[in-house]
Structure 1
């Protein structure tokens, strides 16, 4: 009884702040097609527009690593595994490398996990170097371009910089041997040494079946105004505080922990997915990296993502109209979140919700099993297809070398 009364009270508070009637908040919103070029890109079909050759590597680079720890299948970096599986049976795959537009090297670089499930990236550079040495020694295609017609899936926090702490990732830089390749990565931040020009930015992996199992009726009232569950301080890795999330999460907690419009906590309830479907806005602040699975979850559950991460490069930005579906708040303005969100007009909120209800946009954020038209796998292929045809300048002259095989930390050059 108290829960129902409190939910109604919050619903009325929300309605009074944003000017939407309780009836409008309770009603499921109709979907709206994404207009213009973004909608066209979202609905592209990559089949017939490119051919991909998948290198057959020894299983120590992929399958054997997964056999040691099946948790790799459910963490946020699992796209590297599912992309490999997808390509093996995709109609864009060619068994004739001489007709390939792109070459793919299946290396599971984020599948070595700590006991608490966090990837250890320290061996990743050695592993990747070893795989590149293998393909360059056994096939002629790498040496023609030094990887300019190759792509690699590197979904770790800072992509091919292979470190989870930004300062050390910046010092390390992108693995030198990958500097001509196209990188498919979750990390994206403008003017950052770990984001290579021409990279394809993808969403982090969020288990589609798990989210599907938690769907609630679409006409359920959105009785939570702002929702967030997660860390505000990472005491273990940032004992002095203030560096984690560049202080943005700490500011959220300090300013809004007692605000009735903000349902925020470090607790992670079993009703987490259901709660997101009851919320109008879902906070998506940076952590150690600018992105998190909350971006995916917000889109899937129709909760307007509030993106707090300066200079973030968002997944499939040419297909997903992030400016229209989300709200961007500068890190320095976090203390004004309540004013910013309550000042958004009812019409704008309702339109964002209609766009978020678009099934094709939800599909583009997921890596379903089996693959489905328009999903994240296909959006990656669309990104590769839009880079074709390759410019003739990518092909090296006889005996020409551009990449430095001895560059980078000495530890990276140890045998793997």
Structure 2
């Protein structure tokens, strides 16, 4: 009898304990959910599904301060305002002397100032073909304006004055202007100013603490003109280059893994209020430009002889001179398809002229790399043709004529949706080329951090107390780490 009573007491005790535990469990969940304002999600660090120019492609990079890593939740900034705290990319910019940047545009500093007061006036950038590679101008202006009170441009990138808080380090050298204007020596110079500036830049960079911390891997160097930085690119190879293509770079110096491809600034006028359609664009296929080119550009000659007598195909020589831009604008605005053929290098601004014209690009350049292709599907608004196929007699025209009105219209509509991604503006606007380039840089930041952390695995403290620093280039160790 005593045993039965004892068993009953034990069962009741266990039931009581279970009931109390269950009650506490539900109460804890109730208070936990009640203490929040809703679920908090960390966005995908590599968004690749929404190329809409009106959307924010926020990569949400983590930020390392000292030994702690803080992951910020990305939030949409208030409409019309910019709060630097919401920036997805923090950028430290070297205060290079004006002869590296706006001084090349004949801007004169006031006193000991390094930068123009852009709240009052903005130095002019040279026109004509110089504008193709003016990316350095637009990105620098965007950084300078990023901390101005009442800034209305988006908060994609913001300038910070403390490099330890930065994701990347920006090198404000206007390399395209330097190449275009100062490559040839001017008496009594024996060496062109462009070469001298590059030598000075390398000497300056390798002495900086920011360089020594990373070996230059988190540094952004602008070399958009294919011939810019010719004398220093091999020395600065660990950096993140912003380029138009990889045509004149060996793959160990520039590659899609670490570098950024940025669009040219188009030369022809935008097609504003485009009310054209398949029938009103009477030219089937349009090309006007230099025909006789070297390297990969030999294909232009072959296509010229194949297409010059084709009905409703315009294929002719043209240049910026003698009203060439106005002619090209009229021609591309009245054409269904526009050829983008490899020239001296795999890319040209003709692709971006076509996008601005809503003329469906036909890309014949096997080695081309395209801006922000990790988030933008070019096949939705472009036709890609292998060079070996394009030079087959009748192949190209047959392919283009076989594209239906419905398919062309879908591509034409998509061109109008994405054209803003290729526009350089100041002040910058949401989803434009400036913001898209900063977002592309932000998507590289996690990989840069990964490589730097891997390099420090066995040499974080060389003498037992000081953090590991990179030597001038530390090429051998860096190459070994890359091949692990």
Q: TM-score range by the shorter chain?
A: 0.7 to 0.9
* 2:127 corresponds to 1:127: no
Task: Give 1:39's match in structure 2, choosing from 51, 62, 66.
Answer: 51
Offset at 1:159? Answer: 6.4
Q: Which residue is equivalent to 1:17?
A: none
The normalised TM-score by structure 1 is 0.74
Q: Which residue is equivalent to 1:81?
A: 137
Q: Which residue is equivalent to 1:56?
A: 95
Q: Which residue is equivalent to 1:198?
A: 258
The 5 Å alignment of 1:12-23 reads none
Give 5+ residue unaligned stretches, structure 1: 1-34, 163-171, 235-242, 406-416
Contact 2:183 2:195 in 1 (8 A): no
Offset at 1:118? Answer: 10
* 2:126 corresponds to 1:71: yes
* 2:316 corresponds to 1:258: no
Q: 1:185-216: CA deviations, max 9, x gaps?
A: 11146995363232111101225xx624x646
Hey, what's the Cα distance between the residues in 1 that align with 2:334 and 2:142?
A: 33
Q: Which residue is equivalent to 1:249?
A: 300
* 2:411 corresponds to 1:355: no
Offset at 1:223? Answer: 1.1
Q: Which residue is equivalent to 2:445?
A: 388
**Runs (4+) of structure 1 moved beyond 4 Å?**
117-126, 189-192, 394-397
Task: Give 2:209's match in structure 1, choosing from 140, 143, 155.
Answer: 140
Answer with 123-132 or 54-63: which moved more.
123-132
Hey, what's the Cα distance between the residues in 1 that align with 2:338 and 2:244?
A: 20
Hey, what's the Cα distance between the residues in 2 that align with 1:400 and 1:135?
A: 12
* 2:386 corresponds to 1:333: no
- Secondary structure class of the residue paired with 1:225: strand
Contact 2:223 2:243 in 1 (8 A): yes
Offset at 1:393? Answer: 2.8
Hey, what's the Cα distance between the residues in 1 that align with 2:442 and 2:455?
A: 16
Q: Which residue is equivalent to 1:24?
A: none
Q: CA 1:346–1:296 in structure 2 vs 1: closer, same or farther (change >3 Å)?
A: same
Q: 1:292-332: CA deviations, max 9, x gaps?
A: 11111111211110111112111111232112211111222
Hey, what's the Cα distance between the residues in 2 that align with 1:75 and 1:200?
A: 19
Q: Which residue is equivalent to 1:150?
A: 219
The 5 Å alignment of 1:232-247 reads 232-234=291-293, 243-247=294-298
For the aligned residues, what is the CA RMSD? 3.2
Offset at 1:285? Answer: 0.5
Larger Rg: 2
Task: Give 1:295's match in structure 2, choosing from 343, 351, 358.
Answer: 351
Contact 1:176 1:404 in 2 (8 A): no
Q: Which has the higher relative contact order, 1 or 2, with Cα contacts under 8 A spaced 6 or more apart?
A: 1
Hey, what's the Cα distance between the residues in 2 that align with 1:84 and 1:333?
A: 42
The normalised TM-score by structure 2 is 0.64
Q: Which residue is equivalent to 1:240?
A: none
Q: Which residue is equivalent to 1:222?
A: 281
Q: CA 1:110–1:103 in structure 2 vs 1: closer, same or farther (change >3 Å)?
A: same
Q: Which residue is equivalent to 1:368?
A: 425
Q: 1:245-267: CA deviations, max 9, x gaps?
A: 44211012111111122112113
Q: CA 1:355–1:130 in structure 2 vs 1: closer, same or farther (change >3 Å)?
A: same
- Secondary structure class of the residue paired with 2:380: helix
Q: CA 1:190–1:156 in structure 2 vs 1: closer, same or farther (change >3 Å)?
A: closer
- Secondary structure class of the residue paired with 1:51: strand
- Secondary structure class of the residue paired with 1:250: helix
Contact 2:287 2:339 in 1 (8 A): yes
Give 5+ residue unaligned stretches, structure 2: 1-46, 59-85, 108-123, 147-154, 186-191, 461-467, 476-484
Q: Which residue is equivalent to 1:12?
A: none
Hey, what's the Cα distance between the residues in 1 that align with 2:339 and 2:455?
A: 42
